[in-house]
Every structure is written in C-alpha cells, then in structure tokens.
Amino acid sequence: MRTTLNLDDGLVQELMKMTKAGTKTEAIHLAISEFIRRRKIEGLLALEGKVPIDVGWRELEERELKSQAERERRWRGHR
C-alpha cells in the first residue's frame, strides 16, 4: 500500500540505524510489526490470572507426548 507520510527525519534515521534496515520502508515496516507484536503480548499478559486453566502446562505436555507416542505406535503397527 502506498502512503504519503510526514515523518521527522531524525526519528526515521535513528529508526534505520536501530533496525539496520536498508530502506525507510523496511525500517517503518519493522517498527510497525514490532509495535503490533508488543501490543498483542500486552493483551495476553493482561489476561494472566483471568482465564481459568485446570491443567498445568507440564501435564498438558505429558498428555501430548503420550498421545503422539500412541499415534506413532499405531502407525508403525499398520505398516
């Protein structure tokens, strides 16, 4: 999408140095992507303690590994 923006030259130059981007477009794309990523993380962190989870991650991982092993066992048995 082509967009015309009035940006502070100093900020754009600093952004290009920090991101090591070769172009202004690349630097701005990286900055926007990082901003969005951080906001999503903030949103997830805001849910901490608000979403009830009955099973711990270790138990979920253990269940998944057992399920995967069972699928592999059945698959090998059908060969």
Q: Per-residue pLDDT tens for 20-53?
A: 999 999 999 999 999 999 999 999 889 888 877 6
- Residue 3 resides in a domain: no
- Residue 18 resides in a domain: yes
Characterise 9 by phi-psi region: left (phi > 0), alpha (psi -120 to 50), beta (else): alpha
Distance, C-alpha 30 to centroid of its chain: 13
- Residue 4 resides in a domain: no
- Residue 40 resides in a domain: yes
Number of domains in the chain: 1
Task: Supply the pLDDT for residue 79.
Answer: 55
pTM flag (> 0.85): no
Q: Residue 22 in contact with residue 35, Cβ under 8 Å?
A: no
The confidence band for 12, taking pLDDT boundaries of 50, 70 and 90, is: very high
